[in-house]
Chains A and B, each alone.
Chain A
Amino acid sequence: MTAVIEARALAKSYGATRALDGVSFSVAAGRIVGLIGPNGAGKTTALKAILGLTPFAGELSVLGLDPRTQRDTLMRDVCFMADVAVLPRWLRVTQALEYCSGVHPRFERRRAEEVLAKTDIRMKSRVRELSKGMVTQLHLALILAIDAKLLVLDEPTLGLDLLYRRQFYDTLLNDYFDKDRTILLTTHQVEEVENLFTDVIFISHGRVALASSVEDLGGRYLQLNVAADAAARARALKPFYEREVFGRVALFFEGRSASELAPLGELRTPSIADLFVAKMSGTEKP
C-alpha cells in the first residue's frame, strides 16, 4: 500500500531554533496517527509542512503530491482543523455552509445540516454568538461533510470541557473514520484519546523519538511494577525509565521478553501516556 504521508529528513529553522531537525516518518492509509510531543517540539511545524503552510527542507509527499508546489490540488483531498478559534467571528452558520458548498467539490451540504441538526446551533447564528464548544461542533460538521482522504487535526479540542471533547472524538470515530481515511492528530490530552490511535509518533526537539503502530508497542515496550524493595533485581535488566508511586516502582523496558520479566513482578503494556513520559524523560532517573 502506498503511504498517505511519506516524510524524509524534514528540516525547518526559525532563526536559531531548529523546529524540525531531520524528521522522517510514514503514515499508511486507514490509520489514526497521534503526533505527540511536548510544547515546542515541532508538532505544529510538521503539520504546517504537511499542509503546505510553511516552507521547509527535505522530501515530503502527501497523497503522492508535494505540498510545496501542489498545494491547491492537494487541498481537495486534505482537510484540516487547527484549534477552535479559527472560524471567523462574523461568519453565519448558513454562510459557512454556502461557502463550503461553493468552493469545495467534495462538500455535501446535506450531511453538514444533518450533523448540525443534532446540536443546539441555530442556522442564523454568527460564530461570535456561539460558545467555544458549539464553534467546534460547527467546524466538525463542516469537516464531516467533506469527503477527504486525510484529515489533520491540530489540538482540535483545546480549551473545551470534557463533554464536548468526548463527543468530538466519538463523532469523529463513529461518523467519519473508515478504512480509506487517515487521521493525523496532535493533542496534549493523550490519556483521553490514546485508545483512538492506531499509530503514534513521538516528536521531541525537532526529531522523531518513536514511531510505531500501537499493536507493535506491546511487543517492544513493557512496564514492570514491583515493590520498592524488590526493584534492585529488575534494575539489573536495565530499564530505560523508572517511576515510583506509593512505594511501588514502575520500570519501563525496551526489547525485553515477557518471560524474562514476568517472574519479577506485575507485567503490563505501558499506556501511551506513560510511555510518552518515559521516552521523553529518557534514561535519567527522576
Chain B
Amino acid sequence: MNTETVDLGAVPLARGAPGALRTTLVTLIRREFWEHAALWRAPAIVAALLMLVAVFSTSIAVNVNDTHVLHLDPATRIIALNMTQMVWTMIIYLVAAVVVTFYTLDCLYTERRDRSILFWKSLPVSDGLTVLAKFLVASAVVPLLVFVLATASHLVALIVWKLRVTLAGAPDLIAWDALAWLRGEAVMLLALTLSSLWYAPLVAAALLVSAWVRRSPVLWATLPLIVLPIFEYLFFRTHYLWSFIKYRSGGIWHLLGQGGHPVDEERLRLLSDLNWVGAFLSPDLWLGLAAAAALLYAAARVRRYRDDT
C-alpha cells in the first residue's frame, strides 16, 4: 500500500498514485509505444493513406460499368457502406498485425541484448506485470487503436466522398445509414475482440520465444512451424501438425461460420448472421486462452532468471 503523500507537480491529475497497480500498468504500456513507435505509426500512416485515396481517387476506378454503378439501388449502397467499413478496418488491422508480430518477438529479446533489462529490473516492477503489459499492448491496445483509427479515417473519407459527389459529381456509391453504420462498427469491434482472443496463444508464444532465445527470435519462432510438420510428414506420413498450425493461425472466420464451416462469400458480404455466440463459446477459443495464460506465465518465469547479461 502506498500511503505517503506525493507532490503531483506537473503530472496529469488522472494518473493516480505512483507505484499503484493501475499507474504502473499504464506507464508500462506507454513505455512500449515509446520504444516501438511503429506500433502506432504504421496503422496511423495506413489510415492516412486510405483517407488520401478517398480524397484523390478519380472515378476511373468505376467507369467500367458507369451506367450500372451510377444507378445502384439504396440497399446495395448501404452494403457498400458496410463493405468499405470492413475493408478499411481489415487493411489497417493487417498492417498492425505484421508490426505486432515483430514487436512481440523482439520486445523481451532486445532488452536482454542491449542489457537495458538491468535498468528495468532495478525498478519495482514484477516480471509478471512486465510480460502482461506487453501482452496487453499486442492483444488489446493495438486492436483498439486499429478500431479507432479505422472508424475515424473511414468517417473522414465518407464525408470527403460525399462532398465530391455534391460538388464534383463523383459517382454516389455509398449511402449513409446510421443504423447500418452502427451495426458495421459493432461487427468490426466484435471481430477485433474475437481475433484478439483467438490469436492470444500465438502472441503469448511469441513473447515466450522472445524471453527465451539467445539469438534470432524470428527464426526460432518460424523455423519449428515449418520444420516440424515436414518431419511429421517424413516419418509418419501425416499432416496433423500442419493442419493444427493452419487452423490456429487461420483466422476467426472459421469460428464465425455455422456448424464449423467457414463463412461463405455471401454471408461475409452482408456481415450479418455470423455465429457470434458460437464463436465466443467455442471450446477451442477457451483452450487457446488457457494455453496463452500458461505461455505468459512461462515467459514471466523465464524472464525472472534469464541470466545472460
Q: A and B from one assembly?
A: yes
Q: Does A238 contact B (CB under 8 A)?
A: no
**When the two chains form their complex, are residues B122 and A80 in contact, meaning their CB atoms are under 8 A apart?**
yes
**When the two chains form their complex, are residues B124 and A72 in contact, meaning their CB atoms are under 8 A apart?**
yes
The CA of A60 and the CA of B26, in the complex, are separated in Å by: 34
**When the two chains form their complex, are residues B9 and A99 in contact, meaning their CB atoms are under 8 A apart?**
no
Which of B16-24, B68-76, B201-209 is the interface stretch? B16-24
The CA of A71 and the CA of B121, in the complex, are separated in Å by: 10
Contact of A53 among B30, B31, B121 (CB under 8 A): B121
Q: Considering the complex, give the chain A residue whose CB is closest to the CB of B24.
A: A103
**When the two chains form their complex, are residues B27 and A86 in contact, meaning their CB atoms are under 8 A apart?**
no
B2, B119, B307: residue with the most chain A Cβ atoms closer than 10 Å = B119
Question: Which bucket holds chain A's interface residue count?
Answer: 35 or more
**When the two chains form their complex, are residues B35 and A103 in contact, meaning their CB atoms are under 8 A apart?**
no
**When the two chains form their complex, are residues B307 and A105 in contact, meaning their CB atoms are under 8 A apart?**
no
Which of B93-101, B108-116, B242-250, B285-293 is the interface stretch? B108-116
Which of A90-98, A192-200, A254-262 is the interface stretch? A90-98
Q: Point out the residues of chain B lying under 8 angstroms from A92, CB to CB.
A: 34
**When the two chains form their complex, are residues B305 and A102 in contact, meaning their CB atoms are under 8 A apart?**
no
**When the two chains form their complex, are residues B11 and A103 in contact, meaning their CB atoms are under 8 A apart?**
no
**A150, chain B: closest CB distance, angstroms:** 12
Q: Does A88 contact B (CB under 8 A)?
A: yes
**When the two chains form their complex, are residues A54 and B125 in contact, meaning their CB atoms are under 8 A apart?**
no
**When the two chains form their complex, are residues B123 and A82 in contact, meaning their CB atoms are under 8 A apart?**
no
Q: Given A86-B115, A103-B27, do A72 and B19 touch, yes or no (CB 8 Å)?
A: no
Q: Does B173 contact A (CB under 8 A)?
A: no
**When the two chains form their complex, are residues A102 and B26 in contact, meaning their CB atoms are under 8 A apart?**
yes
**When the two chains form their complex, are residues A75 and B27 in contact, meaning their CB atoms are under 8 A apart?**
no
**When the two chains form their complex, are residues B126 and A72 in contact, meaning their CB atoms are under 8 A apart?**
yes
Q: Point out the residues of chain B lying under 8 angstroms from A72, CB to CB.
A: 124-126
Q: Does B266 contact A (CB under 8 A)?
A: no
Q: Does A79 contact B (CB under 8 A)?
A: yes
Q: Does B269 contact A (CB under 8 A)?
A: no
**When the two chains form their complex, are residues B118 and A86 in contact, meaning their CB atoms are under 8 A apart?**
yes
**When the two chains form their complex, are residues A102 and B27 in contact, meaning their CB atoms are under 8 A apart?**
yes
Q: Given A88-B111, A103-B124, do A55 and B18 touch, yes or no (CB 8 Å)?
A: no
Q: Considering the complex, give the chain A residue whose CB is closest to the CB of B307.
A: A54
Which residues of B (1-47) have their CB < 8 Å from a CB of A?
A: 2, 4, 7, 9, 11, 15, 17-20, 23-24, 26-28, 30-31, 34-35
Q: Point out the residues of chain B lying under 8 angstroms from A102, CB to CB.
A: 15, 18, 23-24, 26-28, 30
The CA of A228 and the CA of B247, in the complex, are separated in Å by: 85
**When the two chains form their complex, are residues A105 and B122 in contact, meaning their CB atoms are under 8 A apart?**
no
Q: Point out the residues of chain B lying under 8 angstroms from A54, CB to CB.
A: 305, 307
The CA of A103 and the CA of B122, in the complex, are separated in Å by: 11
**A109, chain B: closest CB distance, angstroms:** 7
B2, B15, B124: residue with the most chain A Cβ atoms closer than 10 Å = B124
Q: Does A220 contact B (CB under 8 A)?
A: no
Q: Given A90-B34, A102-B15, A103-B18, do A85 and B115 touch, yes or no (CB 8 Å)?
A: yes
Contact of B115 among A51, A82, A98, A106 (CB under 8 A): A82
Contact of A105 among B19, B28, B126 (CB under 8 A): B19
**A83, chain B: closest CB distance, angstroms:** 9
The CA of A107 and the CA of B2, in the complex, are separated in Å by: 12
Contact of A88 among B7, B20, B35 (CB under 8 A): B35
**When the two chains form their complex, are residues A53 and B26 in contact, meaning their CB atoms are under 8 A apart?**
no
Q: Given A85-B115, A86-B119, A89-B114, do A103 and B19 touch, yes or no (CB 8 Å)?
A: yes
**When the two chains form their complex, are residues A75 and B119 in contact, meaning their CB atoms are under 8 A apart?**
no
Q: Point out the residues of chain A lying under 8 angstroms from B31, CB to CB.
A: 95, 99
Q: Given A80-B122, A85-B115, A86-B115, do A98 and B17 touch, yes or no (CB 8 Å)?
A: no
Q: Point out the residues of chain A lying under 8 angstroms from B18, CB to CB.
A: 101-105, 107
Q: Does A110 contact B (CB under 8 A)?
A: yes
Q: Does A87 contact B (CB under 8 A)?
A: yes
Q: Given A75-B122, A85-B115, do A104 and B7 touch, yes or no (CB 8 Å)?
A: no
**When the two chains form their complex, are residues B19 and A109 in contact, meaning their CB atoms are under 8 A apart?**
no
Q: Point out the residues of chain A lying under 8 angstroms from B35, CB to CB.
A: 88, 90-91
Q: Point out the residues of chain B lying under 8 angstroms from A110, CB to CB.
A: 7, 9
Q: Considering the complex, give the chain A residue whose CB is closest to the CB of B23.
A: A102
**When the two chains form their complex, are residues B125 and A81 in contact, meaning their CB atoms are under 8 A apart?**
no
Q: Point out the residues of chain B lying under 8 angstroms from A76, CB to CB.
A: 19, 124
> A71-B304, A103-B19 provided; 4 other pairs, C-beta below 8 A?
A82-B115, A88-B116, A99-B27, A103-B124
Closest A-B pairs by Cβ, 8 of them: A102-B27, A105-B19, A88-B116, A75-B124, A72-B126, A86-B118, A82-B118, A76-B124
Q: Which residues of A contact B (CB under 8 A)?
A: 48, 51, 53-55, 71-73, 75-76, 79-82, 85-92, 95, 98-110, 139
